[in-house]
């Protein structure tokens, strides 16, 4: 960092060095931005998650200009965390880039070595085996590791449920056919119904039983090789389109959903199903 206030002309011209310099100046204690200076790993983490979802949204909409912008926002998050770490003398952006490059080389021996991997499925098996070996190696230095270690707690619950189930399945804790998976859903639904029909409904118990239902349904999605996050996102979109149809049809007569009864809205919903 040079002395004096930065100017656009004083920044590097190459894109990545320019971005790194911008972030360093934003965090500069004398000339930086007060908001950026105040941030920490924890305060920035929610923005990192949000930007990743905005990237996914741009991809879903097939919006290339938006994707370029959102990828930039996500890259900024990596640069931001790296800058904070650099100030703490923990690591820098170059260390992050070097570590991921080394990891990719190590996990692709069929590209950078002599291993013969001819299908995406075989590569997935090889990838998971190497990840397991890395976790086991860490266990020798950091203490014993279990099959579920390393599944981030901050993941969305649906995504984390699927990852936990996959890990358990790898060590044999899984049903071989769909029948028991569906039976489990029905069992959990019965337990939820029993809790809801109890004389005194306890919200904590209802939440517990409902969580079991969601976990069991996620397991069914995994067995069907359906990404539950993608499936639910598609259903959200479908519901939104159909509900907007209800709003549009009611608006034709100067009304809102709150002005209609459930039977009328249900009829419009069925009408929408024929279109969406």
| Residue 78, in any domain of the structure | yes
**What's the CA angle centered on 34, arms 33 and 40, to 5 degrees?**
100
| 274/276 Cα distance (integer angstroms) | 6
| Residue 208, in any domain of the structure | no
| Residue 212, in any domain of the structure | no
- Cα torsion angle, 113, 114, 118, 119, sign: negative
- Whether residues 99 and 132 share a domain: the answer is no
**pLDDT for 84-108, tens place per residue?**
999 999 999 999 999 999 999 988 8
**pLDDT for 223-246, tens place per residue?**
999 999 889 989 999 999 999 999
pLDDT the model gives residue 144? 54
Q: What is the DSSP letter of 256?
A: -
| 144/149 Cα distance (integer angstroms) | 10
- Whether residues 262 and 246 share a domain: the answer is yes
First to last CA, the chain: 56
Q: What is the mean pLDDT of residues 151-161?
A: 87
- Whether residues 101 and 132 share a domain: the answer is no
| Residue 155, in any domain of the structure | no
Place of tokens 């070595």: 113
Supply the CATH number for residue 19's domain.
1.10.287.1080
Question: Rounded mean pLDDT of the chain?
Answer: 90
Q: How many domains does the chain have?
A: 3
- Give the number of other Cβ atoms within 10 Å of residue 152's Cβ: 8
Distances (CA, A) of 116 to 102, 112, 123, 127: 20, 11, 10, 13
CB-side neighbour CA atoms (13 Å) of 213 = 14
| Residue 179, in any domain of the structure | no
| Residue 222, in any domain of the structure | no
**pLDDT for 32-57, tens place per residue?**
999 999 999 999 999 999 999 899 88
How remote is the C-alpha of 117 from its chain's centroid?
Answer: 28
**What's the CA angle centered on 207, arms 206 and 212, to 5 degrees?**
95
| Residue 198, in any domain of the structure | no
Q: Which two tokens mark 264?
A: 């009328």
| 37/88 Cα distance (integer angstroms) | 13
| Residue 184, in any domain of the structure | no
**pTM for the whole structure:** 0.65
- Whether residues 24 and 87 share a domain: the answer is yes
Domain enclosing residue 253, as ranges? 231-273
Place of tokens 């992050």: 96
């Amino acid at each position: 960092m040079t002395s004096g206030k930065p100017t656009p002309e004083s920044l590097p011209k190459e894109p990545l060095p320019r971005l790194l310099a911008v972030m360093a100046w934003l965090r500069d204690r004398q000339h930086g931005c007060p908001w950026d200076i105040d941030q920490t790993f924890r305060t920035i983490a929610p923005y990192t998650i949000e930007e990743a979802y905005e990237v996914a949204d741009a991809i879903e909409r097939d919006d290339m200009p938006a994707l370029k912008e959102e990828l930039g926002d996500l890259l900024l998050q990596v640069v931001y965390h790296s800058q904070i770490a650099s100030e703490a003398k923990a690591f820098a952006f170059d260390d992050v880039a070097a570590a991921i490059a080394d990891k990719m080389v190590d996990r692709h021996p069929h590209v950078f070595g002599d291993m013969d991997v001819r299908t995406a499925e075989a590569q997935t098996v090889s990838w998971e085996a190497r990840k397991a070996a890395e976790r086991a190696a860490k266990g020798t230095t950091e203490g014993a590791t279990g099959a579920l270690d390393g599944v981030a707690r901050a993941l969305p619950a649906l995504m984390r449920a699927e990852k936990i189930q996959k890990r358990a399945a790898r060590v044999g804790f899984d049903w071989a056919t769909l029948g028991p998976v569906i039976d489990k859903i029905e069992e959990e639904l019965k337990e939820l119904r029993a809790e809801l029909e109890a004389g005194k409904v306890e919200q904590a118990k209802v939440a517990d039983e409902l969580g079991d239902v969601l976990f069991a349904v996620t397991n069914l999605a995994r067995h069907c090789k359906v990404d539950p996050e993608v499936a639910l996102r598609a259903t959200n979109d479908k519901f939104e389109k159909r509900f907007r149809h209800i709003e549009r049809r009611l608006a034709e007569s100067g009304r809102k959903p709150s002005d209609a009864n459930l039977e009328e809205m249900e009829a419009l919903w069925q009408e929408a199903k024929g279109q969406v």
